[in-house]
């Protein structure tokens, strides 16, 4: 029998996660320059379309069909094609006997994660990658990076069987996307000219939508309404707030010694990314500490990136990549079985360190694979389609060159 309350909750959570991709588009669009607002925003929105088509065809099936335990997947790395084109699933098919909401909702919920993950990467190579090459990158990266890690971590695959935990995407989403972003920076090189954000209020709107949507991202990952759901909801806001304030204070006392709006919002996103793998596994006090660690760690990462001259334009690696790493490692220290009995205690709560070891191995595997595969993927695509746009394209702007549109019309 359908659980109406849980079904309603999951529809709401799915809607919140969907809102994050337009939020990301606004966030990146505001940080970009005037000539490339539409191109960077379109990269997020086109992910919604293509990601949905791929998920319908086989994405959902290879992520969530079969398991290593039953021997029905491919070596614990990827699922099978039993549910391709949603075969055998109807609107009345329940997700599971104990989670009595339609499987259709779970399909949609996980699809929103698949949509936003490759879109995160685009902030690193803004103004430098052709739209055509990005389409091929988007498709192939989802298939060969995102889908395998979803199955391995959440779909009953290799890492899940080994005992790796990732509540809402520190490994599968932020670490893989962040290090793919770093690889893309290595490949495409530096921008012709760096720029200042063109519209900080637009960045604020994007941050607000991301923060709002993140409640569905984290709390919805419990796939139930219970004490863990409530804990992950509050932990999400707590970590984000502590990170935002910490980043603001660090910025206020270093460099130009001014508290900037961009800094405050960047700190919040760093906190959100970092708490993601741990949201449903830690207590509220740990969430606050993780938020502070997130701001310090990601701030240092961004400054290190600048010192090395890496042109990760919108700090995808420093905020999302390092946030995913920091949060996953923190889980090994702060995991609390009193909050969620599914996970063993971390080191600070009497654990033996095995969880920390497994989380570190998983994050090393995920980041290394994402980085190397992304580098190879761009090189392969470049043999058929030029990945980096010309200097003239950068000068004129990708909005008009690639899309024949401009974000702001002249007042003449």
**Residue 408, domain member (yes or no):** no
Task: Express as a percent the part of the chain with pLDDT over 90.
Answer: 94
CA distance 353 to 372: 29
**Residue 255, domain member (yes or no):** yes
Per-residue b or e along 210-248, where b marks 16 or more CB atoms closer than 10 Å to that residue's CB: bbebbbbbbbbbbbbbeebbebbbebbbbbbbbbbbbbb
- Flag whether pLDDT at 91 surpasses 70: yes
Residue corresponding to tokens 């690193």: 124
Q: Please state the length of the chain.
A: 412
- Taking CA 224 as the corner, what is the angle to CA 221 and CA 227, rounded to the nearest 5 degrees? 95
- Flag whether pLDDT at 342 surpasses 90: yes
Please give the pLDDT value at position 1: 85
**Residue 412, domain member (yes or no):** no
Q: What are 207-251's pLDDT values in tens digits?
A: 999 999 999 999 999 999 999 999 999 999 999 999 999 999 999
Tell me the CA distances in angstroms from 88 to 99, 102, 106, 169, 210, one per residue in order: 18, 13, 15, 28, 34
Please spell the DSSP secondary structure of 197-209, one letter per residue: -S-HHHHHHHHHH
- Any idea what the CATH number is for the domain that residue 337 is in? 1.10.3430.10
**173, HSE (Cβ side, Cα atoms, 13 Å):** 30
Domain total for the chain?
Answer: 1
**Residue 393, domain member (yes or no):** yes
pTM across the whole model: 0.96
Please give the pLDDT value at position 111: 98
Please give the pLDDT value at position 409: 65
Please give the pLDDT value at position 33: 86
Q: What are 141-192's pLDDT values in tens digits?
A: 999 999 999 999 999 999 999 999 999 999 999 999 999 999 999 999 998 8
Please give the pLDDT value at position 411: 41
409: which DSSP letter?
A: -
Please give the pLDDT value at position 302: 97
**Residue 85, domain member (yes or no):** yes
Residue 254 lies in domain:
4-403
Burial class (CB in 10 A: 0-12, 13-18, 19+), 60: buried
Window from 54-58, 80-84, 256-260, 282-286 with minimum mean pLDDT: 256-260
Give the mean pLDDT of the chain: 96
**Residue 249, domain member (yes or no):** yes
- Flag whether pLDDT at 196 surpasses 60: yes
**Residue 156, domain member (yes or no):** yes
Contact by Cβ (8 Å): 238, 291: yes
**Residue 411, domain member (yes or no):** no
Confidence of residue 412 (pLDDT cuts 50, 70, 90): very low
């Amino acid at each position: 029998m359908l659980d109406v309350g849980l079904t309603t909750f999951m529809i709401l959570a799915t809607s919140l996660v969907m809102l994050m991709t337009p939020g990301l588009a606004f966030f990146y669009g505001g940080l970009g320059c005037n000539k490339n607002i539409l191109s960077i925003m379109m990269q997020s929105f086109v992910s919604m379309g293509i990601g949905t088509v791929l998920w319908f065809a086989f994405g959902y099936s290879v992520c969530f069909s079969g398991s290593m335990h039953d021997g029905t997947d491919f070596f614990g790395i990827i699922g099978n094609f039993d549910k391709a084109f949603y075969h055998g699933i109807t609107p009345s098919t329940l997700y599971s006997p104990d989670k009595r909401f339609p499987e259709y909702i779970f399909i949609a919920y996980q699809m929103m994660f698949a949509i936003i993950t490759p879109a995160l990467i685009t902030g690193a190579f803004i103004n430098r990658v052709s739209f055509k090459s990005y389409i091929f990158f988007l498709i192939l990266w989802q298939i060969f990076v995102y889908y395998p890690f979803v199955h391995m971590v959440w779909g009953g695959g290799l890492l899940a069987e080994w005992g790796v935990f990732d509540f809402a995407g520190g490994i599968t989403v932020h670490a893989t996307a962040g290090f793919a972003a770093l690889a893309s920076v290595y490949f495409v090189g530096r921008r012709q000219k760096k720029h200042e954000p063109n519209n900080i209020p637009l960045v604020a709107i994007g941050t607000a939508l991301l923060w709002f949507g993140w409640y569905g991202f984290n709390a919805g990952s419990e796939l139930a309404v219970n004490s863990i759901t409530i804990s992950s909801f509050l932990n999400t806001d707590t970590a984000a707030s502590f990170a935002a304030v910490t980043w603001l204070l660090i910025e206020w006392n270093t460099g130009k010694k001014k508290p900037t709006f961009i800094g405050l919002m960047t700190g919040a996103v760093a906190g959100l990314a970092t708490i993601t793998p741990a949201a449903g596994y830690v207590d509220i006090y740990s969430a606050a500490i993780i938020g502070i660690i997130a701001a310090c760690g990601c701030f240092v990462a961004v400054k290190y990136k600048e010192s090395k001259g890496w042109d990760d334009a919108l700090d995808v690696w420093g905020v999302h990549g390092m946030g995913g790493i920091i949060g996953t490692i923190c889980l090994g220290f702060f995991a609390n079985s009193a909050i969620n009995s599914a996970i063993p205690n971390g080191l600070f709560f009497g654990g033996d360190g095995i969880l920390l070891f497994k989380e570190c191995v998983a994050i090393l595997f995920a980041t290394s694979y994402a980085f190397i595969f992304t580098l190879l993927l761009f090189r392969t695509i470049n043999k058929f389609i030029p990945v980096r746009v010309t200097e003239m394209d950068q000068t004129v702007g990708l909005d008009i060159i690639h899309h024949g549109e401009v974000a702001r019309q002249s007042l003449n």
